[in-house]
Amino acid sequence: MAHDVAAGPAQGKLVVRNIGLLLSGDLNKPILDADTIVVVDGRIAAIGKAADLDLSGADTVIDAKGSGLSPGLIDSHCHPVFGDWTPRQNQLGWIIEMGVNGGVTTLVSAGEVHLPGRPKDAIGVKALAVTAQRCFQNFRPAGAKVIAGAPVAELDFGREVFEELKALGIRHIGEIGLGTVAKGPDAKRVADWCREIGLESIMHTGGPSIAGSHFVNKDDVLEAQPDVVSHINGGPTSIAHADIRILCERAKGALEVVHNGNEKSALVALEAAREAGRLADVLIGTDAPAGSGVQPNGVLRMITLLSSLGGLPAEQAFCLATGNVARRRSLDAGLIALGYPADFVFLDKPQHSSGKGLLEAVALGDIPGIGMVVIDGLVRTGRSRSTPPSHSAPAVV
C-alpha cells in the first residue's frame, strides 16, 4: 500500500495465533507467556494462550507460524517535512519504504527543520507547526503514525507564542539548539515555560548538525533540564564521554540515543544509564533524515548495537524503542497490553543466522528479519523489503 489518507483502525475482530515469542515492550516484564492476541476494532482485547481465549467469530486470522511479535517500533527522533518527501536527500517514500518496512509504526518529529526557506518568525513558525501536525493527521504513509508539528524556538518569542502553540494542539517543541535559542538562560527560560504550559521540551546535545544550529554541552542541558535529552550520543558529533556520564546521572529528562550519532557514545550512555538505574529512561531514535541519509533499519540497528556490543539482553533492547518511548513521551503506542493499538511487528532471526532464535541472533549482532507489519489491526507489509529475509513469516489465513 503506497499512500494512505488517515483512516480509522480496522473494524471487527482479528486473531493472531501461534506466536513463538511475544515481546511486551515493558522493561518490567519484557517477555509474555502467551501465544495468542485478540484484537477488536484495532485495539488489543485479550492476550494469552489460545486454549484460554475466545477466538470465535474472527474477521481476520493471522497465523504467526512461530514468528516473534513485538510492539510496533517507535522512532523517538526524526525530521519529517511534508508527506513522504524529505528535501534533505530529495527522496520520496522514506517513511513507507524505509520506516515501516523497518518495523517503525510511530515516528516523533524533532522539528520540521529541513524545509527550504523554513520560516523563523513567530507567525511562520506557528503556521508551519500546525500545518505539519494537521497534514500528518490526514495522511498516514502505509498507516504510519507521524507525530509532527515541533516548532523551533527563536530568541524573539515571548511566552505567549508557546501558550498559543499549546492552545493549537501542539504537544512538544522542536530541539532547543536548532534555532537562535540554544544555550544558557535562554534555553532554561524556554524549557521552564514549556514545563509550566504543558509542552514537552527536547534539547539538541552535541555539535551542530545543520547550518544555524549550535553546540550544546552538558552544562547547557543541566541548566535547562529538558524533558528529553535529544541524541545524547551526538547528532552527529558527541560531547565527551565523561560528560555523557554526568548527564546520565544528573539530567532529569529521558536519555535518547540515535542511529545518526556516535555509536561508541551510545554504548557509553547505555552503560552509564544502567549504572545509574535509569534504563527505563533510555530511548531510541534515528535522527533521520540526516547528512548520512535515511536508514531503513535504523531503529533495528540501534537495538542490535545495544544488545550485541552493549550487553543488554535483546528483549530489553526492544523496550528502548517501544514501551520506554511510549511512557516517557506519553504516546498511545509501544506496548502489548490490553487497550493499546494493535501495532505489531512480526520478526524472527534472519535466514542462516548462527543464532538459535530471534533474541540470540540480535545478541550476536544480526539484524532481525521482518515478516509482517500490522498497524491499528491492518496488515501493512508482508515480508520486509528492508530487512534480511526472516526465518519464519506469518500468513493471513
- Helix and strand counts by DSSP (H, E) for the chain: 10, 20
d(CA 70, CA 364): 19
Per-residue model confidence as pLDDT tens for the chain (397 residues) = 445 766 679 999 999 999 999 999 999 999 999 999 999 999 999 999 999 999 999 999 999 999 999 999 999 999 999 888 888 888 888 887 779 999 999 999 999 999 999 999 999 999 999 999 999 999 999 999 999 999 999 999 999 999 999 999 999 999 999 999 999 999 999 999 999 999 999 999 999 887 777 899 999 999 999 999 999 999 899 999 999 999 999 999 999 999 999 999 999 999 999 999 999 999 999 999 988 888 889 999 999 999 999 999 999 999 999 999 999 999 999 999 999 999 999 999 999 999 999 999 999 999 999 999 999 999 999 999 999 999 999 999 9
| Cβ proximity of 103 and 345 under 8 Å | yes
Other CB atoms within 10 A of residue 43 CB: 17
Taking Cα atoms as reference points, which of 21, 59, 24, 20 lies closest to residue 38?
59
d(CA 393, CA 349): 11
Q: 355 vs 308, 318, 363, CA distance in Å?
A: 12, 17, 8
The sign one gets for the Cα dihedral 173, 178, 179, 184 is positive
Domains detected in the chain:
13-71+335-396 (2.30.40.10), 73-296 (3.20.20.140)
The cell for 289 is 533524515
Q: What is the pTM of this model?
A: 0.97
Q: Which residues are CB-neighbours of 299 under 8 A, at least 6 positions away?
A: 73, 74, 75, 102, 103, 104, 259, 284, 285, 286, 321
| Cβ proximity of 271 and 306 under 8 Å | no
